[in-house]
Amino acid sequence: MEKQHAIKYVVKVILITKPFQKIHFTVRHPENALCLTGIAVLPNYSIAGVKVASSMYSKYDTTGILSLAIPNKGDVFYTEEVKTDTGDYRDIVERSIIPINNGKRFELKGKRFGYFDTEMPIHDALMEGYYEDLSMTSAGLVSAIAAIASVASNTSTPSTPVGYPLPNPINSIRTNYKVTLYLRYEMNNQNNLENPISC
């Protein structure tokens, strides 16, 4: 009998369509799954290309909170603060590299995504999940909106006379995005069904 894959990847896409949305979802474990061995969560919420928004965020801002739990027991076994993608992948070491030539930069991008390793035995057919959107609660965004609102009501610039509507930063922020949950399972190999290996 030809060997089956001993590892299976499952992808669950969670769509967020409005601010502060709270979503309850379920994930069905694959058949013959022995153990959940890896978890990764990535949003496609990014402000990297949005000029107004990018100045309001730091890479430590939270896009949302995701939790995973065992069904009917409420036992949360995994929680993650999903961070906002700011398009800044240069770590502290790379920033200290001095450009050799004027006007040119030597850039390194050392980012790599990976799974959070775990060993959770699978006893149920389903897993429960919960996601809460917090993308509109970053400290920088709140203060920036307040600052812009103040400027719009009190001052003018040569390019924006009094009463001229300033760009609404809220409109520059995406409220439609997705969060992708990646799960890695160790499978009960077809050849081992009579003598299953414990997780």
Partner 1 sequence: MARSKIIKEWVDVQVTANNQIFKANFEVDKHAGLIIGFAITSNADAMLYYRGSQRIVINDMEFYPEDYESKMLMQGLNVPTNERMTDLDEAILPGNRQVQIEYKDADHPSANFTPYRVRLYVYSKLQD
174, 175, 192, 199: which one binds partner 1 (CB under 8 A) = 174
2 near partner 1, judged by CB under 8 A: yes
Question: Burial level of 183, CB count in 10 A (0-12/13-18/19+)?
Answer: buried
Yes or no: say if 185 and 39 are a contact pair by the CB < 8 Å rule: no
Using CB under 8 A as the binding rule, the residues of this chain from 13 to 32 that contact partner 1 are 13
9, 20, 60, 164: which one binds partner 1 (CB under 8 A) = 9
Rounded to a whole number of angstroms, the minimum distance from the CB of residue 195 to partner 1 is 19
6, 139, 162, 197: which one binds partner 1 (CB under 8 A) = 6
Residues in the chain: 199
d(CA 169, CA 162): 18
7 near partner 1, judged by CB under 8 A: yes
11 near partner 1, judged by CB under 8 A: yes
5 near partner 1, judged by CB under 8 A: yes
144 near partner 1, judged by CB under 8 A: no
Tell me, residue by residue from 82 to 121, as one string, x for binding to partner 1 by CB under 8 A and - for no binding: -----x-x-x-xx------------xxxxxxx--------
Closest CA relative to residue 13, chosen from 27, 3, 34:
27
44 near partner 1, judged by CB under 8 A: yes
Neighbours of 24 (CB within 10 A): 8
153 near partner 1, judged by CB under 8 A: no
Q: Which is nearer to partner 1, 40 or 170 (CB)?
A: 40
Neighbours of 85 (CB within 10 A): 18
d(CA 50, CA 171): 11
What distances in angstroms separate CA 99 from CA 93, 106, 108, one per listed residue? Answer: 13, 6, 12
Yes or no: say if 184 and 29 are a contact pair by the CB < 8 Å rule: no
Q: Which is nearer to partner 1, 44 or 153 (CB)?
A: 44
Question: Which residues contact partner 1 by CB under 8 A?
Answer: 2-7, 9-11, 13, 40, 42, 44, 46-50, 87, 89, 91, 93-94, 107-113, 174, 180, 182, 184
